[in-house]
A and B are shown apart, each in its own frame.
Chain A
Amino acid sequence: MKTSTAHARSGLSKYRTIVVSIALFIVFDLGVLVMNFYISSQITKDAIGVNLAGRQRMLSQRTAKTLLQLQNATQNSGDVEKPLEELRKTFNLFDGTLRSFNEGGQAVGGDGKPVILERVDDPAGRAAIEKAFAVWTPYREKLQPVLTGDVPARVAALPDVVSYALANNVQILDQMNFLTTALEHMASAKADRLRLIQVGGITLALMNFFVILFHFIRQLRESDAMAEAARRETQDILESVSEGLMLLDRDLKIGDQYSRSLETIFNRQNFGGCSFPEMLREVVPEKIYKEASDYLDILFKEHVNIKLVASLNPLGKVHAYFDYGQQSKYLAFQFSRVHNKDRKLFHLLVTVKDITAQVMLENELEQSQKQAEEKVNMMLGILHVEPPVLREFLDRADRSLREVNDTLKRYGSKRRARDDQYGQVLQDIFPIVHTLKGEAALLELALFVDKAHAFEDTISELRGRANVSGDDLLSLTVKLDKLMSDVQAVREMVERITSLKETFDPAPATTEAASVKLPKVASVAPAPLLASDEFQRLAQKLADDQGKQVSLAAHGFETLALVGEAAATLRDALVQLVRNAVVHGIEVPQERTRAGKAAAGTVRLHAKAAADGYEIICHDDGRGLDAERLRAAALKSGRWSAEELSGWDEHRLRGLVFESGLSTAEAVTTAAGRGVGMDVVKRKVEALGGHLAFATQPGHYCAWRITLPGVLGLDQLGFKAA
């Protein structure tokens, strides 16, 4: 702002100087011209005067000469008319001219035409005229009778005039001589003055010229210095500003002036004349580049509101890559329209900032916030579970995860394990993780359900691959690590919550203390594990997720005296059965209504003591096991060909439920779809010496029966730990 006013002022004074000097020049020139014109016209007049004054000399002599001729003619009776006529003419000419010299006025010029004579004011000329008049006046008087009178009068007057003429003729001649000289002097004086004026005018004009020249040179220097200072200021700004600044023309070419930071930000030099989009293309993904190109297009559309344009900026925060992806930065671009004096858009000012540090900080903050949130969620996620139950879950989770870890390690250490061995690893660890997920779901520990599901995802993905390498298992190790540390974190949290509870409520502490003396089974007495409300919650949640309605009824479990491994196995099995019943068995309400059933499905869990042990039944009134669906799933798995399957009867097809990796669910969700389950349940139940069987009627029901031997070994009952 400051510089611009200074500029305006200097511009104005520059113009003022020009105006003044031009005016002076005109005044000087006009003055000289006018004077020149005036004086030269005077000189012309003076020249006429000099000429006529010279003629007066001649006329005075002719007067005398014609008088003598007239006298001669009169005496000799010759022709008098001719000399008389000449005398008259000469007289009139001389007399008129003298009068004009005296008073100013018209006279007859050398060529016979009238001229104007000015009254002679020069003292010398004046004196000559006055003296001439003194002689001429009597001369004139004496001439009158000669010129105008009759012959006798003329003859009588002639001798006197002639004698006067002879006596004074020289006198008149002299005075006319003086007059001539005086007029000549005057003329030459005027010529001198004219020269003086000319010289003076030219001198002034020259001086004016030099003044202007000097002035302009000084001003030029000043404005040069000012421009240089402004340039240096701009340069200083461009050198030191931390943002990358550049101007783009309509062709999106970068201007020659840009800030030094631009070079630092883009790790390159010489931007002048480069195409901005091309430069962008080198560092940002193609998609962003395309978006930016379209955006630059609307930037130049002046009818689009700049506020709107700013809100659409796709380059507000971009991840840019440099040195062939070696280095990456977060950049923020801003665009402003630059208008010229006519309010026409002619440049875009681009501001680029390296916001990497800022973004990193933001990410870090976000990360720590997320971690804190996760902790809180974890805390909230476990509060609804009784600490002893939770501890048991954690113990089992720990054991399961360690098992997975050991399996991974075992194969990982074999440097040249065969591909199918890796496949075996995946097959081994998958059921473990799946079971863990089921248990977590039962306790509604969403955190573990999600993590376990994600872990399962990775395993499934690897199982789907043609060949699995040792490196692939690495990603599993990382996930496993995270899961283990989560288990540890929850354990710590449980301890803290428990100690907090003890602080505020010392009564349970005694129970807790007492439990220490008891065998482990007592402290983890898993009665709640088989409590029907937990299964109800599980069924409800699964049904909600699937858009189904279900009611679950359980009875007879209070009679079960199972602890430790057996209880856990039964629990796993029941989780799986309930899950199966809700997800695969129970239909959506519309389908049920169409089939003439109640909209809400029913799942019944029933436990009773049988003669040779226990019998647990899980019954649902869903669609039953559909042999055709199982056939389709088997075909999809690719393990059997269509021909092979076509030969199977319903019984054999139903047997497929015990095959690993087969699922009739359409999509993989946390609830179902991986085709793991019944095979695991079967294996575990059989490991306890039990038996798993099912009965079904398609469209009506499906029932599973688990039988467990009545007397389980102490090991299996969990007393081993004591």
Chain B
Amino acid sequence: MIKLLIVDDSNIIRRKIERSVSVAGLTIVGTAANGVEAVKMFKQHTPDLVTMDLTMPEMDGLEAVTALLALKSDTRILVVSALADKTTAIEAIRRGARGFLCKPFTDKELNDALVELLEFDVR
């Protein structure tokens, strides 16, 4: 079982991701509305996969990426953000996030991104 944590400050996006995820073996273990909550949920569930919004209150996505990777360095983080956030997305990738999904996205795009994240092996 692969555990997925959804982090997004938007209720709508969180629900959309929850509804749309249909990858075999993937189970959603929790959702968080900001970085602080994300870290709490992460410690509780140690997910393998995290979808991460970038602009959030309390602790933003970039800090959260750093914090989660400090907890478990092989966590695969998918940055889910608007295209306008490209600079921030690049920064997130520099910090160790593995993928980038542009808002708005279709169900297929989301699932493809998750599958790719799972399949892409790190050399």
A321 within 8 A of B: no
DSSP class of A's interface residues: helix, strand, loop or mixed? helix
Stretch at the interface among A289-297, A347-355, A606-614: A289-297
A304 to B90, CA, bound (A): 11
Q: Does B19 touch A at the CB level, under 8 Å?
A: no
Contacts of A304 in B (CB 8 A): 93, 98
- A295 / chain B contacts, CB cutoff of 8 Å: 90
Interface centre among A290, A291, A308 (most CB of B within 10 A): A308
B122 interface hit (Cβ, 8 Å): yes
B102: A residues at CB distance < 8 A: 311
Q: Does A269 contact B (CB under 8 A)?
A: no
Min distance, Cβ A339 to any Cβ of chain B, angstroms: 11
List the A side residues contacting B116 at CB < 8 Å: 305, 307
Residues of chain A with a CB closer than 8 A to B120's CB: 305
B92 to chain A, nearest CB (A): 10
Interfacial chain B residues near A302, Cβ < 8 Å: 123
A interface residues, how many (CB within 8 angstroms):
17
Q: How far is the CB of B104 from chain A (nearest CB, A)?
A: 15
Q: Is the CB of B87 within 8 A of A291?
A: yes
- Flag whether B91 is at the interface (Cβ < 8 A): yes
Nearest chain-A residue to B89 (Cβ)? A312
Give the distance to chain B from A303, nearest Cβ to Cβ, in Å. Answer: 5
Question: How close is A287's CB to chain B, nearest CB, in angstroms?
Answer: 8
| CB contact list, B82-101 vs A, under 8 A | 86-87, 89-91, 93-94, 98-100
**A314 interface hit (Cβ, 8 Å):** yes
Assess the B93–A308 pair: CB atoms within 8 A: yes
A482 to chain B, nearest CB (A): 30
A312 with B100: CB separation less than 8 A: yes
Which residues of the partner chain A approach B122 to less than 8 Å between Cβ atoms?
Answer: 303
Contact of A298 with B by CB under 8 A: yes
- Please give me the residue from chain A that is nearest to B117 by CB atom: A305
B90 & A291 in contact (Cβ 8 Å cutoff): yes
Please judge, given known A-B contacts A298-B94, A303-B122, whether A308 and B99 are in contact too, CB under 8 Å.
Answer: yes
Measured CA separation A308–B90 after assembly (Å): 10
Which chain A residue has the least Cβ–Cβ distance from B99? A308
- In the docked arrangement, what's the CA distance between A311 and B100, Å? 8
A291 contacts across to B, CB distance below 8 A: 86-87, 90
Interface mask (A58-96 → B, CB under 8 Å = 1, otherwise 0): 000000000000000000000000000000000000000
In the complex, which residue of chain A has the Cβ closest to the Cβ of B90?
Answer: A294
Q: Do residues A297 and B87 form an inter-chain contact, with CB atoms below 8 A? A: no
Bound: A347/B97 CA distance, A: 23
B38 vs chain A, min Cβ distance (A): 21
Q: Mark A303-346, 1 if CB is under 8 A from B, else 0.
A: 11101110110100000000000000000000000000000000
B123 and A298 contact, CB distance less than 8 A: no
Measured between beta carbons, the chain A residues less than 8 angstroms from B86 are 291, 312, 314
**A312 contact from B93, B98, B123, Cβ within 8 A:** B93
Distance between Cα atoms of A290 and B94 in the complex (Å) = 13
A312 contacts across to B, CB distance below 8 A:
86, 89-90, 93, 100
A550 to chain B, nearest CB (A): 31
The reply to whether B93 and A314 contact each other, CB–CB distance below 8 Å, is no
Are A303 and B90 in contact (CB-based, < 8 A)? Answer: no
From B94, B99, B123, A294 is in contact (CB under 8 Å) with B94
Q: Which residues of A contact B93 (CB under 8 A)?
A: 298, 301, 304, 308-309, 312
- Chain B's closest residue to A305 (CB) is B120
CB distance from B99 to the nearest CB of A (A): 6
Q: Mark B62-93, 1 if CB is under 8 A from A, else 0.
A: 00000000000000000000000011011101
User: Which single residue of chain B is at the shortest CB-CB distance from A290?
Assistant: B87
Some 6 contacts from A to B, beta carbons below 8 A apart, are A290-B87, A295-B90, A297-B94, A303-B98, A303-B122, A304-B98
Given contacts A303-B98, A314-B87, 18 further A-B contacts (CB under 8 A): A291-B87, A291-B90, A294-B90, A297-B94, A298-B93, A298-B94, A301-B94, A303-B122, A305-B98, A305-B99, A305-B116, A305-B120, A308-B93, A308-B100, A309-B93, A312-B86, A312-B89, A312-B90
Nearest 9 A-B pairs (CB), nearest first? A303-B122, A294-B90, A298-B93, A291-B87, A305-B120, A295-B90, A298-B94, A312-B90, A308-B99
Q: Which residues of A does B touch, CB under 8 Å?
A: 290-291, 294-295, 297-298, 301-305, 307-309, 311-312, 314
